[in-house]
Amino acid sequence: MFKKILLATSATPASDHAARVAFNLAGTYNAELNIFHVLGVPSRGFSQVVVDVKTREKVDVDDEYLFGVTEEIKAYYGKYLDNGPKVAIDVTVGLPAREILRQAKAYEPDLILLGGSTGDADQSVYKRSAAGSTLHKVAKAASCPVMAVTRPAASFWGGMSNILFGTDFSKTSDKAFEYALALAENMGCELHVFHALDIAGVQSGKLLDQDEIEQKIRESLRRIRARYEVRLKGLKSYSMDVWEGIPFIEIVKYARDKHADLIVMAHHSRRLASEDTRLGSNVEQVIVRAGCPVLSVNK
């Protein structure tokens, strides 16, 4: 399933979990792994000065510096590299999301792996230099699935038995479904199809009454069956559910309930009117809250 994997790392503990999954995947599928690191953001006009992400200092980047950072990364991931996976390390300067997408365009990976947030807004060098989050930009624009691993739980691929697929019945969700299905078949796991009925956002200020909610739940279940059931028949085991509430909360709860090892969702490749730009989309909220990796598909 995976021949080329791009691990976009900050080479700090925030990316450790993503790194572990990346090396694991590379080993399991004998895939090429490209470790990609944006070492700093350009600063001071047309000068060579870069604000280094780790030290927060302004440095003059030259070939020696790039080499030094590459060596640092080799040392950081030392124990993984010893096992001899096919690894290439690339280091560059720029705004992270943009450079990751640029690298992905050139490298054409089957999967991009991203670690967790690199710190809170005041501290992070990355955050200060770009509006919006790296994750949002990469998930929105990448041409391949993007997996975010932010928490240590279940960062071992291979021991997977439950995949949760969240749908909003959009065309993009259908694409995500195909991907989730392929994964489930490939790894022989159960696939749980879930829809979160949004009762808070749609009617701001006016809460639906219980009959309406239950009616909508029934409708959604019908839609799920109509859309997906025939494709699910080939799987060993599957389930379908609809819970009402705030979508990203419900998804996280459902994932906990089903002991999901992976959540697959659609990330829309265009901006939706309903998106609250502060919170980001549902996917992004799920990513930072879920107890397992989240894979977003946008094409």
92 near 39, Cβ under 8 Å?
yes
Q: Binding other proteins by CB under 8 A: which of 57, 60, 178, 229? A: 60
Biggest CA pair distance of the chain = 68
Beta bridge partner(s), residue 238: 191
Residue 102 or 218: which CB sits closer to other proteins? Answer: 102
Q: How far apart are CA 136 and CA 281, in angstroms?
A: 8
Distances in Å between the alpha carbon of 97 and those of 36, 179, 273, 284?
A: 12, 24, 22, 15
Residue 30 or 47: which CB sits closer to other proteins? Answer: 47
Nearest to 184 by CA among 238, 120, 254, 135: 238
Q: Binding other proteins by CB under 8 A: which of 22, 101, 147, 176? A: 101
Stretch of 55-63, 175-183, 228-236, 285-293 lying at the interface with other proteins (CB under 8 A): 55-63
Is 95 an interacting residue with respect to other proteins (CB under 8 A)? yes
Least Å from the CB of residue 275 to other proteins: 12
Q: Which residues contact 158 (CB under 8 A, 6 or more apart)?
A: 24, 28
Residue 38 or 87: which CB sits closer to other proteins? Answer: 38
Query: Which parts of 186-215 interact with other proteins (CB under 8 A)?
Result: none
Is 141 an interacting residue with respect to other proteins (CB under 8 A)? yes
Least Å from the CB of residue 243 to other proteins: 25
Q: How far apart are CA 12 and CA 16, in angstroms?
A: 7
C-alpha torsion sign, points 156, 236, 110, 227? negative
Is 269 an interacting residue with respect to other proteins (CB under 8 A)? yes
Distances in Å between the alpha carbon of 276 and those of 135, 197, 202, 258, 280?
A: 15, 17, 13, 28, 6
Residue 27 or 42: which CB sits closer to other proteins? Answer: 42
Stretch of 36-44, 109-117, 205-213, 250-258 lying at the interface with other proteins (CB under 8 A): 36-44
Is 222 an interacting residue with respect to other proteins (CB under 8 A)? no
Is 64 an interacting residue with respect to other proteins (CB under 8 A)? yes
Least Å from the CB of residue 94 to other proteins: 5
Residue 64 or 120: which CB sits closer to other proteins? Answer: 64
What's at 47, amino acid-wise?
A: S
Is 70 an interacting residue with respect to other proteins (CB under 8 A)? no
Q: How far apart are CA 280 and CA 136, in angstroms?
A: 7
Residue 121 or 207: which CB sits closer to other proteins? Answer: 121
Q: How far apart are CA 231 and CA 221, in angstroms?
A: 15
Is 219 an interacting residue with respect to other proteins (CB under 8 A)? no
Binding site for other proteins (CB under 8 A): 42-49, 60, 62-65, 94-95, 98, 101, 105, 128, 141, 269-271
